[in-house]
A and B are shown apart, each in its own frame.
Chain A
Amino acid sequence: MSGGIALGLGITETITSPSYTLINEYEGRLPFYHFDAYRLNSAEELVALDSDFYFYGHGVCAVEWSERVKNAIPENAITIKLEVMPNGSRKISISDNDLEKELVKSGVLETEKL
């Protein structure tokens, strides 16, 4: 998914996992900051990495495992929830309804097949 965001921002560099580096930075149409909170134990640990300077700065930030650092995430952040369904497909829920509708309309997302 982060690879897709990077593609949309015109980043040609290979997107690698920030699980160990915590934050990877990329130059694109807008700066792209890719976070992974998997190794962090609290929101304070993320804030100590100057997350506020990224979150309230001028780039696009994607945070994986954001539920581990909930208190450090801005209130107006868009949350994308990925769930693996029993049949192996993925259910994607987006906290921003307008964005979700737009993505469905443009064919990026499929509506749920019941």
Chain B
Amino acid sequence: MNILALDCSGDTLSVCVAQIEQENTTAFSKPKHPYKDEIGHKKLPGNTLVEIAIDAGYRHTERLMMAVDYCVTEAGLKPQELDLLACTAGPGSFTGLRIGLSTVKGLALGLNKPFVCIPTLDAISYYWMGVAPVLVPVIDAKRSHFYFAIYEDEKIVHGPFDKDIQYLFSLLQHYSEVLFVGPDADILASSAQERSGFRLAKEHNRPLAKAVANLAMKAYLKDGPASSSQGLNYLRASDAEEART
């Protein structure tokens, strides 16, 4: 399956084309010297990936389509050969999320291809599954709030939330071992230090496109494509709503 995945939810833009074989057809043997293969621009057997990450702040619109074009071309594909498109569904930068979803929707409509959206916190956690029993992906939501959720055994068990650090640590008080991941995990460094089992992932800000592609294939095979009315999960209660509760 040829998947184009992109993430504009944070200040690092990432785009990838993942060519993932179905489980029952992964038994290809790789050629001994794939890089010397003179057949040229042809897909190697097995799963392949072309990924670009650009950490240039919130300049996504200026770079997104060039990155998409590069990844599709480098993968040796024509846009029509893509089978599935995907982007992050939020939380994250409101503008960034809208850029991502509108780009994916536009391409999906033009190419007549299905698309799916993947929760941003799921995509962040994806890289750390199995590394620690409890994962907490963290995105700075500003105003002393964070977007976060608690994952246990590869499943979300609490959240996602848009809450402050006190709330996060009150939820975590019964956990002995926690790994904080995500672009803004380092904000929690001093608070995490006070608890012996609480650790910070060193390389916590990983480009998300590859995770989005992998999760997108799973979601698509399980639940089918998103509808054209698919929206975003900003996770931010409006001030009016917050005042009411």
Q: Give chain A's interface residues, CB within 8 Å of chain B.
A: 43-44, 47-50, 52-53, 55-56, 71-72, 74
Contacts and interface: CB of A to CB of B under 8 A. Distances in A.
Contact of A50 (B94, B238, B239, B240): B94
16 contacts: A43-B239, A44-B238, A44-B240, A47-B238, A47-B239, A48-B94, A48-B234, A49-B94, A49-B95, A50-B58, A50-B93, A52-B142, A53-B93, A55-B142, A56-B143, A74-B143
B236 interface: yes
A50 B143 contact: no
B239 to A, nearest CB: 5
Contact of B143 (A44, A48, A49, A52): A52
Contact of B142 (A43, A48, A56, A71): A56
Nearest to A74: B143
A95 B108 CA distance: 51
Contacts of B234: 48
Nearest to B239: A71
Contacts of B94: 47-50
Contacts of A49: 94-95
A43 B241 CA distance: 12
B68 to A, nearest CB: 22
Nearest to A55: B142
A47 B143 CA distance: 12
A52 B235 CA distance: 14
B58 A53 contact: yes
Interface string B79-97: 0000000000000011110
A53 B57 CA distance: 11
Given A52-B143, A53-B58, A53-B93, 7 more contacts: A44-B240, A47-B236, A47-B239, A48-B94, A49-B94, A50-B93, A50-B95
> Which 3 A/B pairs are nearest by Cβ-Cβ distance?
A52-B142, A56-B142, A44-B238
A49 B95 CA distance: 6
Contacts of A56: 142-143
Interface in B56-70: 58
Of the candidates B95, B142, B238, the one having the most CB atoms from chain A within 10 angstroms of its own CB is B142
Interface in B133-160: 141-143
A14 B32 CA distance: 60
Interface in B192-224: none
Contacts of A43: 239
Contacts of B143: 52, 56, 74
Contacts of B240: 44
A48 to B, nearest CB: 6
